[in-house]
Amino acid sequence: MRWRRPSGFGCLLGGLSAVGLLFLFVPLLVLLGRALALRGWEQAPAAGMPQALALSFATTAVTTLLTVLFGTPLAYLLARRRFRGRRALELLIELPIVLPPAVAGLALLAAFGRRGLFGPLLETLGIALPFTTAAVVMAQIFVSAPFFIRAAQIGFEAVGEDLADAARVDGADERGLFWRLMLPLASRALAAGAVTSAARALGEFGATILFAGSIQGRTQTMPLLIYNVLERDLGAALWTGVILVGVALLALLAAGWLRRAAA
């Protein structure tokens, strides 16, 4: 192959790409380097990281379970049914993805806070949601569920209608069609969506701090721990950030593998 001298436009593209890559990669590398230099793992226990880590993974597990339980039927209906207002419903479901986190927290307070829409009813039942572990789960579901629902909808839509018609000809009813055909064929797409949704829930900050607060051992997840200890214990904050970056990277790798396997 003959070597060709790069054109001016090619050099411009390469230069801009290099700047973009440096902007994305350098902060993460510096984060890792500073965390190692300050030996953040030694300071993390005193800063409350074990409690925050356990709470984050526990609430994320509950969030993912509830999201899959309630999101799968919704995604299936959106994928296999055509009805008036379907597109508007899809937009409402996806809206939390682009909402500012503070707005998400305010919306939850307006609905479920003591002075919210359902506040008086919850108070009569002896239920107080704000600043509890349940509030953490609710905030995580609100911001992360759309990722799963969208991925599950795409997975169900990818199952050919000819396969569904063949199953109906063979005598499958709607329940059998869902459990024996649609769910198995879309399972990898659903798993990829669940992993992505869990990663988003694990990193949730804005809605959680407004609706659940930051109470150590009860509502203080790992992102909130970083915010609270940043000024007084930089090493612990950096090490917590490194752990979150690692979990996010593993989630992206797993989700990407599942999507490729589904394809």
How many Å apart are CA 135 and CA 112, to the nearest integer? 9
How many Å apart are CA 112 and CA 120, to the nearest integer? 9
- Per the confidence metrics, is the pTM higher than 0.85? yes
Q: Are 201 and 141 in contact (CB under 8 A)?
A: yes
Q: Are 223 and 205 in contact (CB under 8 A)?
A: yes
Query: Look-up: residue for tokens 């609100």?
Result: 142
SS (H, E, C) the chain: CCCCCCCHHHHHHHHHHHHHHHHHHHHHHHHHHHHHHCCHHHHHHHHCHHHHHHHHHHHHHHHHHHHHHHHHHHHHHHHHCCCCCHHHHHHHHHHHHHCCHHHHHHHHHHHHCCCCCCHHHHHHCCCCCCCCHHHHHHHHHHHHHHHHHHHHHHHHHCCCHHHHHHHHHCCCCHHHHHHHHHHHHCHHHHHHHHHHHHHHHHCCCHHHHHHCCCCCCCCCCHHHHHHHHCCCCHHHHHHHHHHHHHHHHHHHHHHHHHHHHHC
Residue type, 82: R
**Per-residue confidence in pLDDT tens, the chain, 263 aa:** 555 666 677 788 888 888 999 998 999 899 889 888 888 888 777 778 889 999 999 999 999 999 999 999 999 999 888 888 888 999 999 999 999 989 999 999 999 988 889 988 988 888 889 999 999 999 999 999 999 999 999 998 888 777 776 777 666 677 778 888 888 888 899 999 999 999 999 999 999 999 998 888 899 999 999 888 887 888 888 888 898 998 888 888 888 887 777 66
Which residues have C-beta within 8 Å of that of residue 223, sequence separation ≥ 6?
Answer: 203, 204, 205, 208, 244
